[in-house]
Structure 1
Amino acid sequence: MDTMHCYHCGLTIQDKDVLVFEEKEFCCNGCKTVYEIFRQNDLTCYYDFQAAPGATPTDINGKYDFLTDATIVSKLLEFEEASTHIVSLYLPHIHCSSCIWILENLHKLHPGIGSAQVNFPAKKVRISFDPQQISLKALVELLCSIGYEPYISLENYEGEKHKIDRSLIYKIGVAFFSFGNIMLLSFPEYFEVEEFWINQYRGFFRWLIFFLSLPPLLYSASGYYVSAWKSIRAKMLNIEIPIALGIIVMFVRSTVDIVMDYGQGFFDSMCGLIFFMLLGKLFQQKTYNFLSFERDYKSYFPIAVTKISPNGTEEPVQVYAIEKGDRLLIRNQELIPVDGILISEKAAIDYSFVTGEAVPIEKKSGDKIYAGGKQLGKVIEMEVLFSVSQSYLTQLWSNDVFQKKLHSKHKNITDRISHYFTPALLLLALVSFGYWIFLDTDTAFNVFTAILIVACPCALALTAPFTLGNVLRILGRQQLYLKNAQVIEQMAQVDTIVFDKTGTITTNKKTAITYEGSPLDAHELWLLKNTLRGSNHPLSRRLYEYLPAQEKATVTHFEEVTGKGVFATVEGHAVKLGSSQFLQHLSENTHKKTKVHVEIDGVYKGSYVFNNQYREGLEALFERLSASYHLVVLSGDNDGERKILEKMLPAGTSLVFNQKPEAKLAYIEALQQEGKNVMMVGDGLNDAGALAQSNVGLSISENVNVFSPACDGILDASQFSKIGYFLQYARNAMKIIYMSFAISLLYNVVGLTYAVTGNLLPIVAAIIMPLSTITIVSFVTLMSNAYARERFFQTKKTVKNAA
């Protein structure tokens, strides 16, 4: 009978079993139903990415009834609110670009699904959905109906316990066993031993070698065939095609040699080739795993959260020092770093980090609150349920909602080279084979295979990601935490640096404070201290620490107006703190000092005057940066310290004062319209818009659990004087990429020269291939570490001399 293939899943079907719908053949009603679903929802371009990309839907009647249990569902969910649930599911059937496309368009299949993000390497999808429109059970059944049945087990409750995939190790073991034994059995051929060998054992040993070569051919190298076949079906040419072709050519040629009694063939070279290529793949896999581990482990945010000790004292601690059962204090605009139980009477939580929607959700005492929310309003207390999940915080920070539209020049170079590499390589191999076949048949096959193997662009493709990954790790060790590798490229292109003043070039820890106005009595100081307790502005935090300790009071209302001040109701008293314009008091006096004005129950009391202390090494930093960058100080304060800054900072530094948050953003836009690449350095509070608008937004962290989701990097305040070093290091990272590109291309040119001239055996090419990867990885590691040490010591020396 005629055989056909299912339009959806590609399985072979007999004529008698075929189901025809719209002139398309399907193997079962499940595949036909999936096609109908896609067609009804205008999603049939799913099939344009790849022919027959789907999986056959399974019969799931009653299989997921356990998902009606609220306790089990609660354990599976990452986030659970009235109108938004978020779940991450492992989908084993994810395998190609079509899968990514259809899963990220799930919202078209059901209105209750908000968004879906696919993690292709982990075969996971993170889905946001409205439980009032679609339950988790219905969502899972929908995934099953389109051929993406999730794998749900007890490990989903207990955290990340991934099964170790040892398939590559097994393949290497099989290839090595066959390679070793084939070489051992080939010794008589190697040494041209005659006598008994010719008459009795030669044929037997040759066929034994043939059968020993089959496991590496059919099992160990299977990944190359599958990848090559998928590439061909998708009408693309990837690097697996020449590798698979080289292996097959060597096997066919060797089989012909044995059958025709021309010799023993190249089975030893073929098995050695597979073994060394798989070894190179293992090394590359370990390299990426190493980078991923370092990134996860080192990229804890350098932010602190206030912990309340059993005796009631408040102390800032690093987020990763938080443990289950700890009691935390969360102020206005602070990020909630862990899941916990709300202890305070009520709270308003902004979950835009998680959902992308900045609509505050009301919570009452005893409710569960989730990591990633931002507290709005008066200070709250919570009890920790779980220790900090750094990977979850990183995921929130990298949410697509807050991503800037960056493009990687070096990724584009790699993609462009790889795109033309394979067809050029195949053409060169065929031309060389055509030339040598008329001169020497053995050499022709050797040349053909060696060319296909030696010119693998693996090292070329590894250059940029490994260099930038290693630089990310080194910067993390020096307490600069970047969102992703592309930020390094953006930093290398910066030509203008804009600094905020308060909390950025000034430090909150050393600011001298004096009071001017009517003396405040103990009751008024008590009201003032409790008002400031909920604010996160640098001046508020410094003043809170300056005032004497007071008993806690009940704050019934709290409002912080960005860039202006704070209004609160404490035990029935109205307290107002902030600028003179916010209090509608007199304009700033002629001295133009940085002040926080105080008003209690509508009566103006006076003001606290801040004599700003600038960060250590500021003058040396600006002096060094002025040689390569245009510098700007952009402040929301008045220009009372203009003369001080003009004296401290190098000539040519632009000083711009009285800038509200929206004015800062407009200023950055104006610079960019002039063609400038701008880096904004701020404290993440009043600078959120400017940080988001800039090419690179750097948030300074100083014992405050606040940063803008739009910032590209977080710098520990203690490392402020090293900004120049970080920028120069980013430029050096780009130099390393170009140098390693050159080395990789040189390797390919030299290797191909030897291969084309017939002076390179296929097995030697297979050994050289992983060695080239090792060379590139070693080079970029050594160079990035060397540049880090060199620039670090120069920076330390500069700061020391300036001091």
Structure 2
Amino acid sequence: MSKLVDIKASQCYHCGSDIIKKDEVFFDEKQFCCNGCKTVYEIFSQNDLTCYYDFQASPGATPQDIKGKFDFLANESIVDTLLEFNEDKTHIVSLYIPHIHCSSCIWILENLQKLQSGIGASQVNFPEKKVRITYNPQKTSLQSIVEMLCSIGYEPYISLDNFDEGKKKVDRSLIYKIGVAFFCFGNIMLLSFPEYFEVNEFWIEQYRDFFRWLIFALSLPAFIYSASGYYVAAWKSIKQGMLNIEVPIALGIVVMFIRSTVDIIFNYGQGFFDSMCGLIFFMLLGKLFQQKTYDFLSFERDYKSYFPIAITKVLPNGTEVSVQVYDIKKGDRLLIRNQELIPVDGIMISENATIDYSFVTGEAVPISKKSGDKIFAGGKQLGKVIEIEVLFSVSNSYLTQLWSNDVFQKRVEQQHKSITDKISRYFTPALLGLSVVSFLYWVFIDVATAFNVFTAILIVACPCALALTAPFTLGNVLRIMGNRKLYLKNALVIEQLAKVDTIVFDKTGTITTNKKTSITYEGEALNDFELKLLFNTLRGSNHPLSRRLYEFISVHEKIAPIHFEETLGKGIEAEFTEGKVKLGSSQFLKHLSENTHKKTKVHVEINGVYKGSYVFNNQYRKGLETLFEKLAAHYNLVVLSGDNDGERKILEKMLPANTSLVFNQKPEQKLDFIKQLQDHGNNVMMIGDGLNDAGALAQSNVGISISENVNVFSPACDGILDASQFEKISFFLAYSKNAMLTIYMSFILSLVYNIVGLAYAVSGNLLPIVAAIIMPLSTITIVSFVTLMSNFFARRKYH
């Protein structure tokens, strides 16, 4: 067993509680405070989960007697209200667990499948103290899972009347600690005034000792209660063999308390209790400010998540209109096409459908649905078009959760985190070494100054501002980009954007606009019946050419296909009771080869007879030439298209000479092309339409999906760009580089502050109370700096 788990004989091996001799329990050569803790240890041992104790010594909680407490979970209607997702073999629930507090908790809660069969996966949200559990209801139940969690000391908080609010309980302990520290600080300052001004009146001489011991008594609540968080964090850090920033802070507070107590006992003076309480108060105030800052970031992330996914709404008169997802209301009827994400819970209206829930569950096996069945948000429609009736308005936070699913995360190096971690790792030992050396130097000159220097060094060099730099900068940049209609998955994408050296553009629907495409028909004229079949075939597709052609054909009677199949990048096959339609590329129809004009075409075959083709004279997006000129100066540019090379000459005239043009690429070939670029050391950004380009978007270092009118939501992409902002791509790239520059500048600013502060502290010219005031001010300075700089760069015009 690791040395990290060696604890005092009087402490419980599982929960760390002091052991009362009469209740002491021995098992496996270890001591436990009760049978409950021993039982938890046995459970972990039997399931080969004793690594739980390697992350942190005594991390567990004593399991409580919950007999009958969760019997209500046997009621299926109650369970349904708690579930996020409910299908035959897959249920998903998020449980709030107050005891989550350390790495051991995360580890055990993400390995629940080893403790109970039927649990497929579990994922911990540490800041919110929640665990999201996916399980098979045919093998286990929510009641069994909750009772199992209780048996290992992780009892969930479940309130049926106020479930949502219960999960978001506000922790006010920091506010209480600040209040106590301020009370002690203020009263000690008041009682210390006579000695501050060296008043030697009779009553001061007579009652000086009384006032000093009163000051001592007033300091105890601040020392014991208000500063307790620093002691606990420092002790846990030491037990894990690490030295985090709480270690020097806790040491400084303890040193000041001991020094001040010695001063009073030996009548050297009233000590530094006022400075100590002031130090605790200002540090907690800085901590509150940091907490509020993160809350602010979280709010902005939620605001950012309203990316422009559109959905087709069917009006009462049968008209189909595109609306933003957050405009959907209960009772609306929605049209869901092939490969389109279902953004809301609803009731199936169409006769049948096939839904892929892999975004939610990770399982790629499609589920069949029939009319009247409940459809859950997050499913992906496969095949023919369907209609659903909305049960609940959309939850953008839920869509963001799907978008950020671990299944779709790219493994990228978190450079800004590693910089912070590396500095913190060496910073604390160096800080402790400097404080000890300075103390030993000053102790031979002036003992009082030595203690002041020792404490001031420990306080003034706190790297809280350093740790806040990267997350706050990137959070603010996320907000600004969101306001300008580039919606990024997370902050790490900004770092990846700054590293990009090669940009790959799809052609159709990306550098061309679907709204201005000129369409002509060549071939045998189609009668109304054939147009009706073609119209209803196109109705189920989300491909950019399909959407444009669907709008181009005059409205016909809506009929449902018996069979619908879309082959990405090739074409569509649909079968109706009245006939069969096949449309797409000439290779897909296997009917004829491309003609010499090599224009973008959609060929049509009805009932096995080739009819003709629709020719698309593409209109390129506004500002395309200017954008490529700006980008060509700094990036390698590629246009990667699934179409033929009929527009090569047009693009060669429009785009810079160094732009590579690659045509006739299938979806899998696009992915291979991106991979080849990466194998040659390129950092690639792919910009596509999110459907045919899903593989390439996922493979690229940064994948951006263009959103115009009806958008196919793709978790493979790292960002969604509103089509109206296409010409500002160069701005976003330059802005991301300046965001990283802001981080490095603020790192330097923070380090300069620490160096200057340490110079004053080492020389004995900085009192601990002044250091405590400066510390939160430094955090405010850094936050203000990164906010101003990121806003300044956002207003710049990049060329």
* Same fold, judged at TM 0.5 (above): yes
Secondary structure in 2 aligned to 1:513?
strand
| Alignment counterpart, residue 782 of structure 1, candidates 785, 788, 797 | 788
Query: What is the aligned residue count?
Result: 792
> Distance in 2 between the 1:21 and 1:157 partners?
39
Q: Secondary structure at the match of 1:778?
A: helix
What residue in structure 2 maps to residue 51 of structure 1? 57
Aligned to 2:335, which of 323, 329, 332?
Answer: 329
Question: Counterpart of 1:641 in 2: which secondary structure?
Answer: helix
Residue 655 (structure 1) shift: 0.3
Structure 1 residue aligned with 2:107:
101
- Cα deviations by residue, 1:342-376 (Å, 9 ceiling, x for unpaired): 11111111111101122111111111111111111
Is 1:320–2:334 an aligned residue pair? no
Counterpart contact for 1:471–1:733, Cα < 8 Å: yes
Q: Distance in 1 between matches of 2:69 and 2:198?
A: 65
Post-superposition CA distance 1:44-71 (Å, at most 9, x none):
1111111111111111222111101010
Q: 2:230 aligns with which of 219, 224, 227?
A: 224
Deviation, structure 1 residue 414: 0.5
Matched, 1:531 2:534: no
* TM superposition shift of 1:186: 1.2
The residue aligned with 1:573 is 579
Q: How big is the shift at 1:257?
A: 1.2
- TM-score normalized with structure 1 length: 0.97
Instruction: Pick one of 632, 651, 654 that aligns with 2:657.
Output: 651
Measured against aligned partners, the alpha-carbon deviations of 1:235-269 in whole angstroms (never above 9, x if no partner) come to 21111111111111111111111121111111111
Amino acid in the other structure paired with 1:114: G
Match of 2:677 in 1: 671
CA contact (8 A) 1:553 1:571 kept: no
Paired position in structure 2 for 1:550: 556
Q: TM-score, normalised by structure 2?
A: 0.98
Deviation track 1:86-105 (CA, whole Å, cap 9, x = no partner) reads: 00001111111011011111
Aligned counterparts of 2:232 and 2:346: Cα–Cα separation in 1: 47
Instruction: Please say if 1:690 is aligned against 2:708.
Output: no
Contact residue 76 and residue 156 of structure 1 kept, 8 A: no
SS at 2:138 equivalent:
coil
**Which of 494, 497, 513 does residue 488 from structure 1 map onto?**
494
Q: Show CA shifts across 1:403-446 (max 9, x none).
A: 11011112101001101111111111111111111111111111
**Aligned-partner Cα distance in 2 for 1:200–1:384:** 80
Q: What is aligned with 1:512?
A: 518
Matched position secondary structure for 2:520: strand
**Structure-1 separation of matches of 2:596 and 2:602:** 16
Q: CA deviation at 1:74?
A: 0.4
CA apart distance, 1:291: 0.7
- Alpha-carbon offset, residue 203 of structure 1: 1.8
The offset of 1:323, in angstroms, is 1.4
**1:163 Cα deviation (Å)?**
2.2
Instruction: Give the equivalent residue in structure 2 for 1:254.
Output: 260
Aligned to 2:628: 622
Counterpart in the other structure of 1:800: none
Q: Indicate the residue corresponding to 1:352 in structure 2.
A: 358
Contact 2:158–2:166 (CA under 8 A) maintained in structure 1: no
- What's the RMSD between the two structures over aligned residues? 1.3
Moved over 6 A (4+): none
Residues 1:737 and 2:739 aligned together: no
8 Å contact from structure 2 (residues 194, 204) kept in 1: no
> 1:703: Cα distance to partner?
1.6
2:779 to 764, 773, 778: 773
Q: Residue 6 of structure 1 contacts residue 52 of structure 1 at CA under 8 Å; is this kept in 2?
A: yes
C-alpha deviations, 1:458-501, integer Å up to 9, x for none? 01111111111111111010011111111111111110000000
Partner Cα separation in structure 1 for residue 697 and residue 131 of structure 2 = 30
Structure 1 partner of 2:377: 371
The AA in structure 2 aligned to 1:118 is V
Whether 1:270 aligns to 2:276 is yes
1:111, CA displacement in angstroms? 2.7
Matching residue of 1:136: 142
Distance 2:448 2:578 in 1: 97
**Secondary structure of residue in 1 paired with 2:500:** coil
The one of 70, 80, 94 aligned to 1:74: 80
SS at match of 1:552: coil
Distance 1:712 1:281 in 2: 32
Question: In the alignment, residue 512 of structure 2 is paired with which amino acid?
Answer: T
What code does the residue aligned with 1:18 have?
E
- Residue of structure 1 in register with 2:132 after alignment: 126
Which one is further off, 164-173 or 630-639?
A: 164-173
- SS of alignment partner, residue 478 of structure 2: helix
**387-396 vs 699-708, which moves further:** 699-708
Q: What's the CA shift for 1:708? A: 2.1
1:683–1:707 Cα contact (<8 Å) kept:
no
1:702 to 701, 708, 730: 708
The answer to whether the Cα contact below 8 Å between 2:9 and 2:31 also exists between their aligned partners in 1 is no
- What CA deviation, in whole Å up to 9, does each residue of 1:277-318 have, x standing for no partner? 111011111111001001101221211001111222111111
Question: Which amino acid counterpart does residue 606 of structure 1 have in structure 2?
Answer: G
Unaligned runs of 5+ in 1: 796-803
Alpha-carbon separation, structure 2, partners of 1:667 and 1:74 = 46
% same residue: 78
Structure 2 unaligned segments of length 5 or more: list them: 1-7
* Distance (whole Å) between structure 2 residues aligned to residue 785 and residue 652 of structure 1: 34
CA contact (8 A) 1:530 1:570 kept: no
Residue in structure 2 matched with residue 799 of structure 1 by the alignment:
none
For residue 26 of structure 1, report the CA deviation from its aligned partner: 1.8
Range moving further from structure 2, 175-184 or 749-758: 175-184
Paired residues of 1:75 and 1:157 also in contact (CA < 8 A): no
Q: Larger deviation: 155-164 or 397-406?
A: 155-164
Q: Which residue matches 2:4?
A: none
C-alpha contact (below 8 Å) 1:335/1:705 kept by paired residues: no
Other structure's SS at 1:305 match: strand
Amino acid at match of 1:559: E
Q: Could you tell me how far apart the structure 2 residues matched to 1:442 and 1:260 are?
A: 14
Q: Which amino acid in structure 2 is aligned with residue 338 of structure 1?
A: V
- Equivalent position to 2:420, from 409, 414, 434: 414
Partner of 2:117 in structure 1? 111
**Which letter does structure 2 place at the counterpart of 1:216?**
A
Paired with 2:166 and 2:184, the residues of 1 have a C-alpha distance of 37
Cα offsets for 1:16-64 (capped at 9, x unmatched): 3222222112222222222122112111111111111111111122211
Q: Is the 8 A contact 2:738 2:793 kept in 1?
A: yes
Which of 734, 743, 747 is equivalent to 1:728? 734
Map of 2:717 onto structure 1: 711
Contact 2:703 2:717 in 1 (8 A): yes
Note if 1:298 corresponds to 2:298.
no
1:761 matches 2:767 = yes
Moved more, 445-454 or 2-11: 2-11
Q: SS at 1:5's partner residue?
A: coil
TM-superposed deviation, 1:156: 5.9
Shift of 1:157: 4.6
* 8 Å CA contact retained: 1:4, 1:13: yes
Tell me if the contact between 1:299 and 1:481 (Cα under 8 Å) persists in the aligned partners.
yes
